[in-house]
Amino acid sequence: MPFGGVFDVPAKSERIGELEVAIQAPDFWNDQQVAQKSMQELSSLRETVDAWDTIRRRAQDALDLYTMAEDDPDLLTELEGEAAALEAELERREFELALSGPHDGDSAILSIHAGAGGTEAQDWAQMLLRMYLRWAERRGYKTYITDETEGEEAGIKSVTVEVGGPNAYGLLKAEKGVHRLVRISPFDSNSRRHTSFAKVEVVPVLEEDIEIQLDPKDIEIEVFLSSGAGGQNVQKNQTAVRIRHLPTGMIVTSQNERSQTQNREMAMRVLRGRLYDIEQEKLAAEKARLKGKVDDANFGSQIRSYVLHPYQMVKDLRTDVETGNTTAVLDGDIDLFIEAWLKENLVAG
């Protein structure tokens, strides 16, 4: 019972063979960093292949027993239980495959930007920030707000949060795009219904050895007085850093670290992550073009609608997954949307 397609066990086994040959080379440990990564890759591949081999053996054993079980009700009941267990294990392994991208296991940098609409949109951005912080807390992820611009009356204009933990980027990449809220505005004295928008961006926290070409001539660095939400931990002097990437016009800031050097490092991490994301979007667009697909691959379109009036409904417009429990969703219960999107994109890929 071979596993092909997205499972790609033969290719993983071939890669194991290549790595096993490589580690026998006399100079393998000359570059400690590369050697460690190779050993980690080998360990991960072996675990994956062993798991699929176990599933294959269990499935084959069940098929063999089935031929002898037609007149044995007890054995048939046992086989039904094994079939259900195998199905659950396959679903779990399939979901793991959806998190097998080059940086899916890494931490993430999540940014939220209020759309047009003033206070109403800024309040919506604040609600989304709370939703993601609650979601991260449920998963045991560490969060740290690196940059935040407050709204004039309420909410936030923008915020950047580093989310630390395994698979943070792999999961949160499902949230890229525009989120739409429909509700009776608490800021409207006439209690009219308003529609608000906010954009969510997610990029991986890249290791220093990831090749992102950054010519010093392509960036402008400006320092300014920090005004973030860092409280007493932020020195009230010129510690905040703003970096402009001239070729793209992209601007990133960091102001919640203690020193100018730390803020510069954080801003560069965000910039490198966003530039990497742009390259990935170009690759996705080219892949879609070659496949003849017309899907928007730039994550800029509306992905989810949150309706609080005249009815209660949160619906993901990409997967059609929906729920009427808006309170739970806004309290961080968003895994149903994330998992559905990841599984759909695994099949599509």
Average pLDDT of the chain is 83
Q: Residue 302 is inside which H or E element, if any?
A: strand 302-307
Q: Region 53-66: what's the mean pLDDT? A: 83
Domain edge (last residue) among 63, 97, 131: 97
pLDDT value of residue 345: 83
Domain edge (last residue) among 97, 122, 152: 97
pLDDT value of residue 109: 94
CA 306 – CA 324 distance, rounded (Å): 10
Same domain, 151 and 246: yes
CA 264 – CA 112 distance, rounded (Å): 20
Q: Count of domains in the chain?
A: 2
Same domain, 39 and 116: no
pLDDT value of residue 232: 42
Q: Region 112-137: what's the mean pLDDT? A: 94
Confidence of residue 40 (pLDDT cuts 50, 70, 90): confident
More confident residue, 5 or 261: 261
Same domain, 92 and 112: no
- pLDDT exceeds cutoff 60 at 299: no
Confidence of residue 112 (pLDDT cuts 50, 70, 90): very high
pLDDT value of residue 231: 42
Same domain, 192 and 69: no
Same domain, 72 and 174: no
Same domain, 195 and 306: yes
Q: Is residue 184 part of a domain?
A: yes
Q: Is residue 1 part of a domain?
A: no
User: Which of 56-60, 79-83, 125-129, 167-171 holds the top average pLDDT?
Assistant: 125-129
Confidence of residue 348 (pLDDT cuts 50, 70, 90): very low
This prediction has a pTM of 0.70
Same domain, 93 and 134: no
Task: Give the CATH number, domain containing residue 273.
Answer: 3.30.70.1660
Domain edge (last residue) among 97, 126, 144: 97
pLDDT value of residue 90: 79
Same domain, 71 and 187: no
Same domain, 82 and 120: no
Same domain, 197 and 230: yes
Confidence of residue 289 (pLDDT cuts 50, 70, 90): low
Is the link from the previous residue into 310 a cis peptide, with omega within 30 of 0? yes
- pLDDT exceeds cutoff 70 at 235: no
Domain, as residue range, for 259: 108-348
Same domain, 181 and 258: yes
Q: Is residue 103 part of a domain?
A: no
Q: State the burial class of residue 207 (Cβ atoms within 10 Å of its Cβ: 0-12, 13-18, 19+).
A: exposed
More confident residue, 299 or 129: 129
Least confident of 138-147, 171-180, 232-241, 309-318: 232-241
CA 146 – CA 234 distance, rounded (Å): 11
Q: Residue 322 is inside which H or E element, if any?
A: strand 322-323
- Which tens digit of pLDDT belongs to each residue from 183-228? 998 888 787 889 999 999 999 888 655 556 678 888 999 998 876 5
The DSSP line for 194-252 is EEEEEEEEEEE---TTS-----GGGEEEEEE---SS-GGGS-SSTTEEEEEETTTTEEE
Same domain, 157 and 222: yes
Instruction: Identify whether the C-beta of residue 55 lies closer than 8 Å to the C-beta of residue 82.
Output: no
Confidence of residue 65 (pLDDT cuts 50, 70, 90): confident
Q: Is residue 70 part of a domain?
A: yes
Q: Residue 178 is inside which H or E element, if any?
A: strand 177-184
Least confident of 93-102, 169-178, 191-200, 242-251: 93-102
Calculate what percentage of the chain has a pLDDT beyond 90: 40
